[in-house]
Structure 1
Amino acid sequence: MQVVKDKQFVPFIDKQTLEERIAEVGRKISEDYRDKTPLFVVVLNGAFLFAAELIKNVPIPCEITFVRVSSYSKTESTGQLKEILGLKESIEGRHVIIVEDIVDTGLTMNKLLFQLSVQKPDSIQVASMLFKPAALKTPLTVKYVGFEIENRFVVGYGLDYDEQGRNLDAIYVLAD
């Protein structure tokens, strides 16, 4: 049991399972982009731990940059994209991989994909540590998925509850 603020969470995905699966995703990306130099666009704050572990497992030449967006209020996605810190470098002609901690409704990711696609990258894909297909409110393809999970609220490994719990080294789910 883990308490974050006023809520109780129980273990869901342990650290070793996370790291093993993220390594597999890193190997797949490396195979797919072996003759390219992808630009990883990491969505802060939540994806920082996933991105760090993922990049350690991508031995091909690559670059990394960060954007900061927000669409959550407490435990609910608002679906409203609020870009706080944007991209400084050009992505035109680049192979872009958006690195996200979790895709649930898909609304924020679709808006981010649209904002980036107008800059004319050669390709753009999504890598998400967690994916909740049952929560999708809009069609979305997530090419690189760590884990598909049910539509439950999770914290840890970068994911937060009202800005707390990101530092947990595993993923916990809200207790019933």
Structure 2
Amino acid sequence: MNAMHPDVETVLFSEEDIAAMVKRMGEEISRDYAGRDLVLIAVLRGAVVFMGDLMRAIDCPVAIDFMAVSSYGDGAKSSGIVRIIKDLDIDIKGRDVLIVEDILDSGLTLKYLMKNLASRKPASLEVATFLWKDVEGKQAAVNPKYVGTHCPDAFVVGYGLDYAERYRNLPYVGVLKPEVYS
């Protein structure tokens, strides 16, 4: 076990926990998409670590592509305005598309992204999220087909998740100490 970063309050999911979740999700996706034309689309930058592990856990042929969107502006809450900064390089028409997300919070950005991708006429369009944040009293705008696990409504970092572009390289997911971001 790697030493905990001094800015991290507690570790929620260890490297071993993450590996088990990714393996389970890879098996589910492999079973569901066997014999189909699957394209994984990662939303940059947070999902890139999860995407790398997930695609190696999938046993059927898979293509990958990336999108980058901006929806937060300067704050920690979504502005509701989504801009596509990097679009897909491949055509998804008639193909099975699985959006790979690091964390699902409100789901507003993802809902916009799904509407945009649906207009390109894929054969199917689903979501795989590593974490689904439990926000009390709120229902996410999107229901993912595949979920690594639920996590508390806390500021989580590691395994691709960042605060101010830091902590993405931590091999676990932990809760950031409030004094770091307040």
Superposed displacement of residue 63, structure 1: 0.4
- Give unmatched runs, 5+ long, in structure 2: none
Residues 1:133 and 1:79: Cα distance change in structure 2 (over 3 Å): farther
Report percent identity of matched pairs. 37
Higher normalized strand content (fraction of residues): 1
Q: Determine whether 1:167 maps to 2:169.
A: yes
The 8 Å contact of residues 96 and 125 in structure 1, kept in 2 or not, is answered as: yes
Superposed displacement of residue 165, structure 1: 0.8
User: What is the number of residues matched between the two proteins?
Assistant: 173
Moved more, 82-91 or 46-55: 82-91
Q: Determine whether 1:113 maps to 2:114.
A: yes
TM-score by length of 1: 0.91
- Give unmatched runs, 5+ long, in structure 1: none
Match of 2:144?
142
Name the Cα RMSD after superposition: 1.8
TM-score by length of 2: 0.88
Match of 2:26?
26
Superposed displacement of residue 115, structure 1: 0.6
Q: What is the correspondence of 1:42-57 to structure 2 with a 5 Å cutoff?
A: 42-57=42-57
Q: What is the correspondence of 1:63-74 to structure 2 with a 5 Å cutoff?
A: 63-72=63-72, 73=74
Instruction: Tell me the SS of whatever aligns to 1:98.
Output: strand
Q: Determine whether 1:151 maps to 2:153.
A: yes
Match of 1:88?
89
How far, CA to CA, are the matches of 1:149 and 1:2 in structure 2?
19
How far, CA to CA, are the matches of 2:31 and 2:51 in structure 1?
18
The 8 Å contact of residues 74 and 162 in structure 1, kept in 2 or not, is answered as: no
Residues 1:75 and 1:12: Cα distance change in structure 2 (over 3 Å): farther
